[in-house]
Amino acid sequence: MASKVLHAYYNDDDVLMLAVKKVKAAKHHIEEVYCPFPVHGLDKAMGLAPTRIAITSFIYGCIGLGVAVLMMNFIMIEDWPQDIGGKPSFSYIENMPAFVPIMFELTVFFAAHLMVITFYMRSRLWPFKKAENPDVRTTDDHFIMEIEIHDNENELKDLLADTGTVEINIVEKNLH
């Protein structure tokens, strides 16, 4: 199944931001904006929901802290207790100040690595995945705003012509 979309090309990020605001003010839905670099404020201008990846990062950090505590308790207290520097291994609580650096490192390790994996899975960025950008110019110096057409092609073209677009194309987009 395919649908028609309109691609409006821009060569400046400030012009793109003004165009996005103008299109949203005219109550049109922007499917996607392809950019060669991150544009500050574009997500808010498009009306996208805020990300929840910080929540997952906190959860992953807590998992890392838990793994660190359990690992050190088992290794240093239960399985193979050692007298290191005159510090006896009677209980984990007595030796916890010596384990703080390890707890910190594993918290950061788990949060960072699991957050990257979560980001790739959420973004559907698999190894050897074919790129989804519709034009190679979006990796260099052009921005594309993609708007789905609902029998309003001329209205959209007129609206976008006043926004500083350098090119407007109608494309068949395959929905998979």
Tell me how far apart the terminal alpha carbons of the chain are, to the nearest angstrom: 8
pLDDT at 14: 93
pTM for this one?
0.71
Give the pLDDT mean for 114-143: 88
Q: Which helix (H) or strand (E) segment is 172 a member of? A: strand 167-174
Give the pLDDT mean for 166-176: 82
Q: What is the pLDDT of residues 1-21, one digit of tens each?
A: 458 899 999 999 999 999 999
Q: If we measure between CA atoms, which residue out of 56, 163, 173 comes closest to residue 119?
A: 56
Give the pLDDT mean for 117-124: 90
The fold for domain 4-36+138-172 equals: Alpha-Beta Plaits (3.30.70)
Q: Under DSSP, is residue 154 helix (H, G, I), strand (E, B) or coil?
A: helix
Asked if 142 and 37 touch (Cβ cutoff 8 Å), the reply is: no
pLDDT at 34: 93
Q: Which two tokens stand for residue 110?
A: 């788990």
CA distance 60 to 116: 11
* Per-domain residue ranges of the chain: 4-36+138-172, 52-123
Can you state the angle between helices 53-72 and 92-122, rounded to 10 degrees? Answer: 140
